[in-house]
Chain A
Amino acid sequence: MSINSSAQVQNPNTANAKPTRPWTASPKDRSISALILLASVAISVLVVAVTPMKGKLAYFAVFFLSLLIIDYTVSRAKAGKQAGVDSLFRALVAMGMAIAVTPILSILYSVWERGHKGLRLALFTTDMHNASPTSPLSQGGILHAIIGTGLLVIFAVIVSVPIGILTALYLTEIKGRFTRPIKFLVQAMSGIPSIVAGLFILAAIVYPFTKSFNGIQGSLALAILMIPTVARTSEEVLQLIPNELREAGVALGGTQWRTVAMVVVPAARSGLITAMILGIARIAGETAPILLLTGGGDGVNTNVFNGSMGSLPFYIFKGFTIGTDESVTRAWAAILVLLVLVIILFTLARYLGNRKVGK
C-alpha cells in the first residue's frame, strides 16, 4: 500500500536536520569585516603620515573613504555588483550614525574636562552675594542659581502640567470637534522660539504691570514652552490605555468624569509623571526668556513674586559674558551641574516610561 510505505520510509538524514541560519554572519564573515576595518585604519594612518594632509579630519576622511572602497570591492568580488552596493550603503549608514553621536560624546567630554575643576563644596553652599567675578574658586557659588532654577521650574510645572494634561485628555477622552485643530495648535506651539515666549511675557505682564524683574514672569514664559511637551507626551501615554478599562469603568455605572479620574488617569500615572519630567528637562536649561525676564540676582532669593532671581542658565551666561578666568571656570562647573541635572531627569523619565502602563 502506498500510504503504508510512505509512512515507513523516513529519511534518517532529514529527521534530525539542524536548523541553519544562513543570514547570520559566520565567524569567517566576522573576521573579514574586522580585517576590513583594520585595513582602513592602517591606510588612514599611513596616508596621513606620508602625505601633507594632517589632523583629525584627514584621519577620518581617509578612513571613511578607504572603508567604503575596500568594503565595496570585497563584497563585489564575493557576491556581485548588487551585494557590493548593498555593503557600500551599510557602511554609509553606519558612518551617519557615528557622525550623529560624535557631537554628544564630545559635549559630554568637554563639559566634564572643563567643569570638574570648579566643583568644590563652596560651589554648592554659597551664592555670589559676597563674591566678585575675580574671587578665587573657594569663594562664591551657585546656591542661589540652584534654588532659583528649582523655584522657576516648580512654578512653571504648577502652571503647565494641568494645562498640558487637560489638553491631552481632550484629545484622548472627549475627542470633540476641536481635536484636529488642537493637535495642530499644540504642534505649532512646540515650535515657538523661546525668545518669542520671553517677549510675549514682556509685552503682556512686565511693561503694563510689574515693570521690574521677578521670578514668576520667567516661570510663565517657561510654562508656555513646557505645555506642548507635556501635552504631546501625555497624549501618547493616554492613547496606550486600553479602551477596555474605560468601558469597564462606564459599565460599572461611572460617569465619564469618574471613569477618567478614577480609572484612566491612575492607570496612566507613571506615564504622566514621565511627561512632566520630560517637560522639566526641556525647560531647565532654557536661557533666552530667563535673560529677558528674571534679572538674575547674585543672592539667594526665595520669593518668586519680588526681586530679581538667579538661575543656572543666567549664571552660566553671565559667567561667560564677564569672561574672567574664575568666572568662566565657575560657569563651566555650573554647566556640568545643569547637564547632570538634565541627564538625571532624562534617565528617570526613561525608567518610568519603560514600566508597563497600568502599574
Chain B
Amino acid sequence: MSLTQENPVIPAKRALTTKPRFSDKVFRGVVTAGGLSSLVILGLIFLFLLSQGYETIKSQGLYFLTGSDWVATLDAAGKIDPTQSHFGIAAMIIGTLLCASIAVVIGVPISVLSAIFLTFYAPESIKKLMVSIIDLMAAFPSILFGLWGFFVLGPSAEYWARLLHKYLGFIPIFSMPVDFYSRSPFVAGVVLAIMIIPIVTSISREIFAQTPLDRIQAAYALGATRWAMIRNVAFPYARGGIVGGSMLGLGRAMGETVAVYTVLNIIYKINWHVLLGAGGNVASMILLKFGEAGPAEVKALMAAGLALFILTLLVNSLADFIVNRSSKAGR
C-alpha cells in the first residue's frame, strides 16, 4: 500500500476544441439569416421599385428629374401614349425638400432647447414626465397630426403666415404673388416640425447626457455659470450629434405621407413662395395620383417612389454616419 506506483499511467491530454456543436451552427445560421433580413428587404425594395419604374425612367430620361409636368395621356388602345405623356418630379422633389427644410428650421431649435432643458435644468420629476410626453408624441399616428394640422393648426398657421408676409414680405421667399394662404408649404412645414420634435429631442438629449461629467464640473469649478458651461462644454461636445439628429429629422420629414397629404395643396409647378398655398411632395403626390392612376401611370408612380426611397436613404445614411462619428469622438 504505497503511495508511489511503479508505472504511473499519465492520462493523455484532453483535446480542447472550439468547434461549435451542430445546434450552435444551426443557431448561428438562423440568427445571421435573421440579421441579414434587413439587407434583403432593402435590396428587394430597390429591385422591385426599379423593375416597375424602369420603363418610365427610360422613356422620360432626364426629364423625369428636371421636368414638372405630370400628364398621362392614353392613346386609342387605352395604352399610355409616350409622345403625349410627361412624368417629371422636379416640382415634387423641390417641394419635399422645401417642406422638410421648413420643418428643420422650426423644429430643431425648439428640440435642442428642450433637450438642454431636460438634461441640465429640469428637476427629476418634471424630466420624467416631459420625456414620457415627448416619447408618446413620437408614437402618434401621422394621420392624427395631419387632421389636427388641417382643422386646428391650419387657421392659426394661416394667420401667422399673414403676419410673416406683412412684416417680412420684403424677403423674397415670404412674398406672395396671389393672396392665397391656406394649405401652403409653410403650414405643412409647421406640422412636420411638430412631428420631428420627438426624434430630434431624444437624440439631442442622449448626446447632451453623454457630456463628460469631469468637464462639466471643471467648468463649474472655474466659476462658469450654467449658460457658460453649456455654451463652452456641452454644446461643442454635442454639436455633431445635433447635426446628425437634425438630418434624421429631415429624413423623417421628407418621407411623411398622410400628414402632408391633408395639409398641403399639390401643384405641379416649382414654387419657392413658402407662404403660397401651392406646394409639392413626392409621397403625397403618389397617394393623390394612385387612386385615379391606370397601370401605366402606376409605373411612373413607382419610379417616383424609387426616387423618394433613394433620397431618404441618402439623407438617413449621412445622418447615421454623423451621429456615430460624433458619439465616438471622445474629445
Assess the A286–B141 pair: CB atoms within 8 A: yes
- Contact of A291 with B287 at beta-carbon distance under 8 Å, contacts A110-B151, A195-B257, A256-B20 already known: yes
B-contact bits for A276-307, CB 8 A (1 contact / 0 none): 00100110111110011000000000000000
Interface assignment of A207: CB less than 8 Å from any CB of chain B: yes
**Given A90-B226, A100-B201, A195-B283: A313 touches B52 (CB 8 Å cut-off):** no
Given known contacts A255-B23, A257-B24, A166 and B35 CB-to-CB distance under 8 angstroms: yes
Contacts of B24 in A (CB 8 A): 255-257
- Give the nearest-CB partner of A223 in chain B: B41
- In the complex, the answer to whether B42 meets A184 with C-beta atoms within 8 Å is no
Question: How far does the alpha carbon of A170 sit from the alpha carbon of B121 in the complex, in Å?
Answer: 38
The answer to whether B110 and A96 touch across the interface, beta carbons within 8 angstroms, is yes
User: What is the 8 Å Cβ interface bit string for chain B, positions 193-210, against chain A (1 contact, 0 not)?
Assistant: 010010001000000000
**Cα-based distance from A3 to B237 in the complex (angstroms):** 51
> In whole angstroms, how far apart are the Cα atoms of A288 and B145 in the complex?
14
| A103/B320 in contact, CB under 8 A | no
B257 touches A335 (CB 8 A): no
Chain B CB within 8 A of A248 CB: no
Tell whether, in the assembled complex, residue B113 and residue A188 are in contact, meaning their CB atoms are under 8 Å apart.
no
Q: Is the CB of A95 within 8 A of B113?
A: yes
Query: Residues of A contacting B168 with CB < 8 Å?
Result: none
Q: B140 interface residue, CB < 8 Å from A? A: yes
- A85 interface residue per 8 A CB criterion: yes
Contact with A along B287-329 (1 / 0, CB 8 A): 1001000000010011001001100110111001000000000
Distance of B220 from chain A, by nearest CB (Å) = 10
Residues of B within 8 A of A338 (CB): 141, 144
- Is there an interface contact between B201 and A85, defined as CB atoms closer than 8 Å? no
List which A230-284 residues lie within 8 A (CB) of chain B: 231, 255-258, 260, 278, 281-282, 284
* Minimum CB–CB distance for A286 against chain B, Å: 7
**Chain A 178-189, CB within 8 Å of chain B: the 1/0 string?**
100110111111
In the complex, what residue of chain A is closest to B304 when comparing beta carbons?
Answer: A199
Kindly state the separation between the CA atoms of A186 and B42 in the bound complex, as whole angstroms: 10
Interface residues in A52-103 by Cβ distance below 8 A to B read 55-57, 82-83, 85-86, 88-90, 92-97, 99-101, 103
In chain A, residues 151-202, which have Cβ atoms closer than 8 Å to a Cβ of chain B?
162-163, 165-167, 169-171, 173-174, 176, 178, 181-182, 184-197, 199-200, 202
Q: Are B225 and A93 in contact (CB under 8 A)?
A: no
Contact of A191 with B31 in the complex, beta carbons under 8 Å: no
In the complex, the answer to whether A86 meets B225 with C-beta atoms within 8 Å is yes
The answer to whether the Cβ of A7 comes within 8 Å of any Cβ in the partner chain is: no
Chain B residues contacting A103 (CB-CB under 8 Å) are: 137, 148, 153, 194, 197
With A85-B227, A101-B133, A101-B134 as contacts: A170 and B35 at CB distance below 8 Å: yes
CB distance from B48 to the nearest CB of A (A): 4
* Residue A343 CB within 8 A of the other chain: yes
Tell me, yes or no, whether B38 is within 8 Å of chain A by CB. Answer: yes
Separation in Å of the B22 CB from the closest CB of chain A?
Answer: 9
The answer to whether B254 has its CB under 8 Å from any CB of chain A is yes
**B120 — which chain A residues lie within 8 A by C-beta?**
93
A182 touches B36 (CB 8 A): yes
User: What 1/0 mask marks residues of chain B from 267 to 302 whose CB sits below 8 Å from any chain A CB?
Assistant: 000000000000000010011001000000010011
Q: How far is the CB of A154 from chain B (nearest CB, A)?
A: 18
* CB closest residue in chain B, given A343: B136
Which residues of chain B are near A169, meaning CB under 8 Å? 31, 34-35
Closest CB-CB distance, B296 to chain A, in whole Å? 12
CA distance A258 to B23 in the complex (A): 9
Residues of B near A171 (CB, < 8 A) are 35
Q: Which residue of A lies closest to B305 (CB)?
A: A199
Nearest residue (CB) in A for B191 is A103
Nearest A residue (CB) for B229: A86
Q: Give the docked Cα–Cα distance between A50 and B120 (Å).
A: 38
Q: In the docked arrangement, what's the CA distance between A108 and B213, Å?
A: 38
A9 adjacent to chain B (CB < 8 Å): no
The answer to whether B67 has its CB under 8 Å from any CB of chain A is: no
- Contact in complex: A86, B139 (CB < 8 Å): no
Does A1 touch B at the CB level, under 8 Å? no
Distance between Cα atoms of A344 and B145 in the complex (Å): 18
| Shortest beta-carbon distance from A279 to chain B in Å | 10
Q: Are B35 and A342 in contact (CB under 8 A)?
A: no
Interface residues of chain B, those whose CB is within 8 Å of chain A, are: 20-21, 23-24, 26-28, 30-39, 41-42, 44-45, 48-49, 51-52, 109-114, 116-118, 120-122, 130, 132-137, 139-145, 147-148, 151-153, 156, 159-160, 163, 194, 197, 201, 225-228, 230, 248, 251-252, 254-258, 262, 283, 286-287, 290, 298, 301-302, 305, 308-309, 312-313, 315-317, 320
Return 7 A-B CB contacts under 8 Å, by A number: A96-B109, A163-B37, A182-B35, A193-B257, A255-B20, A316-B147, A345-B139
